[in-house]
Structure 1
């Protein structure tokens, strides 16, 4: 038997999965690392922490599984997107990485818009948002110019780990698409955007496909992980692209809903000339010459976590959600908008904040819990409606993440989306997608679709209930009104934020 390893470099931890030829997960390991927030809006990590914890997880994975090192054919990666790692001539990070959820770069976003105008959407196909990489580079250019002068390369998180493991620097298209520096349709670095901001061409790493072979482990890393030089290392992809692969979103008409800290609606696409005017993200997929359209709810699962921690009195999620099945759709006239950290799709607004609308004395904890769940799901439907408005058929949605762990929520997604919602038999998310890239790169399958057919199995399908779907259609219209009715109020309230 031979195996592959998928490594998912997340924001809080690195997860490694050992997968056999039938897609069974033989063993998994997870190692956490710290997040640094030295100032409001800052979010950073030590790039070397990722390396050390990845090496540790691989070592533990191998030791605990009992699999022989020579049986492991390939490794690939999924990585948190957008994070800026500036690398010196010695191949080491020059400063802490600035992460996707860092929001210090609003002035740089406005500068990008001013300098590029409508060229940004034509070339990079995405709006200038604080999470993306180019604004972070411009922040360093303005505030730490000596660091940028020393930089030999900029990389994204998983690419830095791969550099340290193999000595080879590269970036795949799916992750590069989230930098605002890639010509997404042309699959090349945009010389025009780089030159507009005085970025030296040598900063840009080589571009590769997600399944390309990027070398073998360095001798030092072979010794530390227990692996051998025979194991090939494949480029890997952005976490959302790998999550899509791990959910089987690899052909036209397939759509995924992922509810983690943030929420994502993602749909496969082959047409490179679609224009969504920046309302949703348009990125290269990890499959060659394919793309994906993605809408994002910034605080999806995080809204539920916040609610539990603030109002749940220490109860578990299971206890918190235990009573929602007894509450009818609409939570007895209570509505929640999940804008508690701002919003991304369809409202790229850093100032908007969440609301409970319609509170009365009859509402108890289960009503609020259901309203939070419904509000998150309504926000995700806004992304689905954008896809439908562009002519895409969305009649089946694969649900992964926290939203797939509760049957009431799965049924709610079906009712709100007006589509069949599918739960997978075994869900490993982006780590499985990374393992599938390693399997495909290793020649186990002729296509990624063939790999998905072998590795991914559907478990339960939830179909929309006509009566509940009609109720949710009416309530969704009210939900869509809330943003416009509260946007100005929230801008006024922003002056009072920041105190204790």
Structure 2
């Protein structure tokens, strides 16, 4: 994505890359395919705009967390990139928790322990692929991998380093204690830097491959959620960043890390912001937009046909229908735990729950109940954070869910918060561009960068009469999970016992 110095989005390009599943619970990416996508999108943006390579002053990378790959000294990948939702390291996770208390691990890293994090997969490498581990020069995540290819420096920023569960978020360096307990080598890890710092310049070789000018500044970027938070101007407490896509993420800025032990079973993570001397707290609902896709694919034939005929988005048609149903969906409640419960219930055994379905309900009510359930979870996260004295006054939202006026108003009505859609919805890219500008001294401060990039596009205020209706349904909704929590495990046990029958 290419931005001007005054914060205008000039052009963007997009590529997809496949996920590989060599075993059912494994998930991998091919580094060469991702890098090829990076090169193609850079070239495509330059061609689209006619911008000369020399006019690009600096670049930064906004990257997914946790995913990493081993490289030799020639920068050749020795194995595919292992992604977040790969669960090959369950045993390593369990073994490691025998060496250190879960609360102590949280105190160091700000993350509730889980097999998804890089730490445990690195231990898996050392145990299961010792030959590859020994040959590895550096284990790199996507930001440091791209930086390394561009400028020859394996530089990772604090926010992305935080997502490995190897990083001490208060000392701002790799944790000696975790490294010692794990037996991992610190010299196989990239060097951590603050975000917005120049770590090198595009090399001659990288220039030939990408079309970028030699000498273009390479600046540390950050974790996509942290970059997105900066991208909507959420620097100080009070503003919350909500990205509603397949998953819904809720991110709030803090002046200091929040490391209260009662947060551990809730799943909240507290880690470094891309803004110096700021931290974040991150919550998530894993079953957000994916539920609407599930409904479309299983029950949305009429919406798909109409979409094709009218040339409009199938989701716009679904939202249009949902808006015709009354608030509360005529008593239909759907808990969106179709892929487990996220924060604050944090339960992998949990599954979707539908309560109050009658023969009077149709597709409009069911779609609306899905959207309401997702938004009740947003409110539950906000209220939980507020109990921990996290200040949340306004929601700034992007993603697929931010394209629907109906859903945006519903967010305001359910949460009681002012909801804002920014003019630039490519928030993570905008945040990375701000960091590039800060590194290149285009902007003298974070506040100046935000003033150039962040502009409100549309705002939604709560309708107090509708909120009263939602308050009543929400008070019933929050009773559902505690009532059925133990039943989820019973069902899981039955399925385990039945096995392949």
Question: What is the TM-score of this pair, normalised by structure 1?
Answer: 0.93
- Deviation digits for residues 410-449 of structure 1, max 9, x if unmatched? 1111111111111112311211111111111111111122
Residue 290 (structure 1) aligned to one of 271, 274, 278: 278
State the match for 2:240 in structure 1: 255
State the match for 2:79 in structure 1: 95
Question: Separation in 2 of the partners of 1:146 and 1:347?
Answer: 40
Question: Separation in 2 of the partners of 1:105 and 1:475?
Answer: 40
State the match for 2:291 in structure 1: 303
State the match for 2:40 in structure 1: 56
- Deviation digits for residues 433-483 of structure 1, max 9, x if unmatched? 111111111111111221111111002211112222222222223222222
Question: Separation in 1 of the partners of 2:44 and 2:285?
Answer: 35
Question: Separation in 1 of the partners of 2:99 and 2:441?
Answer: 45
The 5 Å alignment of 1:144-223 reads: 144-223=129-208
| Residues 93, 343 of structure 1: alpha-carbon distance in 2 compared, 3 angstrom cutoff | farther
Q: What SS does the corresponding residue of 2:329 show, helix, strand or coil? A: coil
State the match for 1:337 in structure 2: 335
State the match for 2:427 in structure 1: 429
Residue 68 (structure 2) aligned to one of 81, 84, 97: 84
Structure 1 vs Structure 2 CA RMSD: 1.7
- Deviation digits for residues 32-71 of structure 1, max 9, x if unmatched? 2111122222211011212111011111111221011111
State the match for 2:308 in structure 1: none
Question: Separation in 1 of the partners of 2:475 and 2:178?
Answer: 40
Query: How far apart are residue 273 of structure 1 and its match?
Result: 5.5
Q: What SS does the corresponding residue of 2:124 show, helix, strand or coil? A: helix
Q: Is the 8 A contact 1:346 1:382 kept in 2?
A: yes
Moved segments of 4+, more than 4 Å: 497-500
State the match for 2:9 in structure 1: 25
| Residues 246, 273 of structure 1: alpha-carbon distance in 2 compared, 3 angstrom cutoff | closer
Q: What SS does the corresponding residue of 1:165 show, helix, strand or coil? A: helix
Q: Is the 8 A contact 2:174 2:186 kept in 1?
A: no
State the match for 1:326 in structure 2: 324
Question: Separation in 2 of the partners of 1:440 and 1:301?
Answer: 34
- Deviation digits for residues 54-98 of structure 1, max 9, x if unmatched? 011111111221011111100111001111212223222211111
Question: Separation in 2 of the partners of 1:327 and 1:128?
Answer: 41
Question: Separation in 2 of the partners of 1:127 and 1:108?
Answer: 15
Q: What SS does the corresponding residue of 1:22 show, helix, strand or coil? A: coil
Residue 231 (structure 1) aligned to one of 205, 216, 235: 216
Residue 24 (structure 2) aligned to one of 31, 40, 49: 40
Q: Is the 8 A contact 1:128 1:135 kept in 2?
A: no
Q: What SS does the corresponding residue of 1:395 show, helix, strand or coil? A: strand
Q: Is the 8 A contact 1:171 1:207 kept in 2?
A: yes
Question: Separation in 2 of the partners of 1:436 and 1:216?
Answer: 18
The 5 Å alignment of 1:453-464 reads: 453-464=451-462
- Residue 277, structure 1, aligned to residue 263, structure 2: yes
Query: How far apart are residue 274 of structure 1 and its match?
Result: 4.6
| Residues 288, 301 of structure 1: alpha-carbon distance in 2 compared, 3 angstrom cutoff | same
Query: How far apart are residue 23 of structure 1 and its match?
Result: 1.0
State the match for 1:376 in structure 2: 374
Give the structure with the higher percent helix.
2
- Residue 352, structure 1, aligned to residue 357, structure 2: no
The 5 Å alignment of 1:111-126 reads: 111-117=95-101, 118-126=103-111
Question: What is the TM-score of this pair, normalised by structure 2?
Answer: 0.93
- Deviation digits for residues 299-331 of structure 1, max 9, x if unmatched? 211122122112212621111121111211211
Q: Is the 8 A contact 2:232 2:454 kept in 1?
A: yes
Q: Is the 8 A contact 2:249 2:283 kept in 1?
A: yes
| Residues 273, 431 of structure 1: alpha-carbon distance in 2 compared, 3 angstrom cutoff | closer
**Equivalences, count:** 484
Q: Is the 8 A contact 1:83 1:156 kept in 2?
A: yes
Query: How far apart are residue 499 of structure 1 and its match?
Result: 6.3
Q: Is the 8 A contact 2:258 2:281 kept in 1?
A: no
Unmatched runs of 5 consecutive residues or more in structure 2: 305-313
State the match for 1:386 in structure 2: 384
Q: Is the 8 A contact 2:396 2:420 kept in 1?
A: yes
Structure 1 window deviating more from structure 2 (279-288 vs 343-352): it is: 343-352
Q: Is the 8 A contact 1:341 1:350 kept in 2?
A: yes
